[in-house]
Structure 1
């Protein structure tokens, strides 16, 4: 692909858009600079050739125009000398040169357009290279900071994950305690109801004698019977 055919691609390129889409702007900057410098070298080489072609086409147009004027002057001289036949030949040659001039002018216009494109590409590439060079260190520094921040964010996310694990454990512990409380409450509800009347009558019953009292009573009774 010739550099001329790449004119639209180069002119339509947008550094900022390319960097925004790049996964790694730092590497993208270096690669894009290499591409731009490579294109610039080709543009300079091609420009020299195109400019030479433009000058050649311009010279041919000028020479053809001068030849046409010369044929017209000779035609006038021939008429002044009474040689109408010679005058006609000079005018026929002028007519042929006129047709050739049209072709030469078309070639010159094309060469001029190519030269203009080369100038535009050259200026665009120089501007892009200058912009990237001036922003290179700044963009690389920003990229480094961004990567550092990304690592910090990942560490923060890990810490947050640990906190979530602790919170989950606490929720589980709370759930177990709640289940235990509910089980104890259910056991209390399922227990036999307390006999309040039995407790009340026992309060007023005679206290039972202990073994020593009963032993003393037996001895007393045996003594009386003896």
Structure 2
């Protein structure tokens, strides 16, 4: 009996959080933990019923003995009233024999009653714990689901951060290309003629043409005059 009580005290004091910390899949561990408790509850019920039956048996034996003691007392009184002292003495001797067993049966009953009270207490507590854990199971699973979702979001966030790093590298490449393009444009501008030089060439062109055209025109007019045109 002592071993049974010690083992189920350990069950009562077990820490579900400690079990969950060791579990690879806390959701499955919750279900397994409750299945274990249901199995333990069946054992506790069987043991409690056995101890309660022992309590009732000890109580019945004690009650029967007390009833016999009271009966011997009454018969001794009746014998004395009837004037049969020897008969009364026999009844009292039997009563004393029964009294010697009374203390032993009382002790047996007290032990059985104490054991039954402990088992009933453990049984009731286990039933209560299972009921509370069943009510909390959905809450725990919901929290686990949220935790898993958060883990996924964290992984996605890490991927996004990685993508941001790639975009940053792309921006740097674009800056380098733009810089090279600006440098090429600048070099082209340096290699092109200056506007001042172009204007001077253009002015020189018209100056020469103007002179040439005037001489030709004068010669043409002189020819016309000669010909009478």
The 3 A distance-change label for structure 1 pair 49 and 160 is same
Q: Which runs of 5+ in 2 are unaligned?
A: 169-229
CA distance in 1, matches of 2:72, 2:42: 46
8 Å Cα contact 2:9-2:122 kept in structure 1: no
Instruction: Give me the TM-score of the superposition, normalised by structure 2.
Output: 0.60
Q: How big is the shift at 1:59? A: 1.0
8 Å Cα contact 1:61-1:105 kept in structure 2: yes
Q: How big is the shift at 1:64? A: 0.6
State the match for 1:117 in structure 2.
118
Q: Which runs of 5+ in 1 are unaligned?
A: 168-226
State the match for 1:66 in structure 2.
67
The 3 A distance-change label for structure 1 pair 11 and 98 is farther
The 3 A distance-change label for structure 1 pair 23 and 78 is same
Is 1:13–2:7 an aligned residue pair? no
State the match for 2:108 in structure 1.
107
CA distance in 2, matches of 1:88, 1:161: 106
State the match for 1:172 in structure 2.
none
- Residue 13 of structure 1 aligns to a residue whose secondary structure is coil
8 Å Cα contact 2:20-2:29 kept in structure 1: yes
CA distance in 2, matches of 1:93, 1:147: 78
State the match for 2:147 in structure 1.
146
Alignment of 1:126-165 (within 5 A): 126-154=127-155, 156=157
Q: How big is the shift at 1:15? A: 4.0
- Residue 5 of structure 2 aligns to a residue whose secondary structure is coil
CA distance in 1, matches of 2:8, 2:84: 56
8 Å Cα contact 1:15-1:128 kept in structure 2: no
CA distance in 2, matches of 1:124, 1:64: 35
Instruction: Give me the TM-score of the superposition, normalised by structure 1.
Output: 0.61
State the match for 1:175 in structure 2.
none
CA distance in 1, matches of 2:56, 2:42: 22
- Residue 72 of structure 2 aligns to a residue whose secondary structure is helix
RMSD (CA atoms): 3.1
Q: How big is the shift at 1:37? A: 0.5
CA distance in 1, matches of 2:120, 2:158: 53
Is 1:33–2:34 an aligned residue pair? yes
